[in-house]
Amino acid sequence: MGFVNSVIILLVSTLLAVSANHKGTRKNDNSKPTEDAVKENSFSIQDQKFIFFPDQNATWSEAVDLCPKLVNDSYLAMVDRRDYLQFMAFVLHKNPHIIEDRGLLWVDGTYEDGEWIWEGSKTTIPPKNSVDRYPLWTGNTPRTAENCLAIEKIEDGTKSCSALFHADVCESRHGFICRKRKINSADV
């Protein structure tokens, strides 16, 4: 009977160890992604690089902290120009794996004192009904608890999609987009 008990204990110990190792390698553990994974989800426009982290499951404030840790000299992305938002729509449409499971990706905006601002620069984000139609917002209007900004991919049933601003609860968990200035063509 002693031998059987020893074998059972050994098997249970092995299963627990394997289970613990597997949990440590799942996608949403916020560990640093490989350089290849960063390159695969990095897209440049002009001198800016946007790095998508759809599998990192973070609150808005965690995303702010994670960007410089995951990619040197990066920050939670400000999508502060119309062409950047159009670029996001293009990237999301051509790379459906980025946002297939999650509908939202955090970006840098917050709602403070009755207006949306880019947290990094403290500049105002135009309201939903701005004259030049930038930015495009989803149908939701910010409520008291929805003080953080995300990008939502909207497929229109044709061969294109839109990237729209979406207000969400800051403690919700989503992937996110980091941004950094591109120094040279080899810059990651």
For 153, residues 6+ apart whose C-beta sits below 8 A from its C-beta are 89, 92, 93, 99, 103, 161, 162, 163
Q: Does residue 187 register a pLDDT over 80?
A: no
What percentage of the chain carries pLDDT values higher than 90? 35
SS3 58: strand
Domains observed in the chain: 1-31 (no CATH), 33-181 (3.10.100.10)
SS3 154: strand
Please state, in angstroms and rounded to a whole number, the distance separating the CA atoms of residues 83 and 90.
10
Closest CA to 148 of 85, 63, 30: 63
Q: Does residue 147 register a pLDDT over 80?
A: yes
For 138, residues 6+ apart whose C-beta sits below 8 A from its C-beta are 152, 154, 164, 165, 166
Q: Amino acid identity, residue 135? A: P
Count other Cβ atoms within 10 Å, centred on residue 44.
Answer: 14
Q: Does residue 163 register a pLDDT over 80?
A: yes
* Model confidence pLDDT, tens digit, residues 46-100: 999 999 998 888 999 999 999 999 999 999 999 998 899 989 988 988 888 887 6
SS3 115: strand
Instruction: Please give the C-alpha separations between residue 31 and each of 26, 27, 57, 142, 173, in angstroms, as whole numbers.
Output: 9, 8, 11, 32, 15
Q: How far is CA 121 from the centre of its chain?
A: 19
For 87, residues 6+ apart whose C-beta sits below 8 A from its C-beta are 43, 45, 50
CB 98 within 8 A of CB 89: no
Maximum separation of any 2 CA atoms in the chain, in Å: 81
Q: Does residue 28 register a pLDDT over 50?
A: no
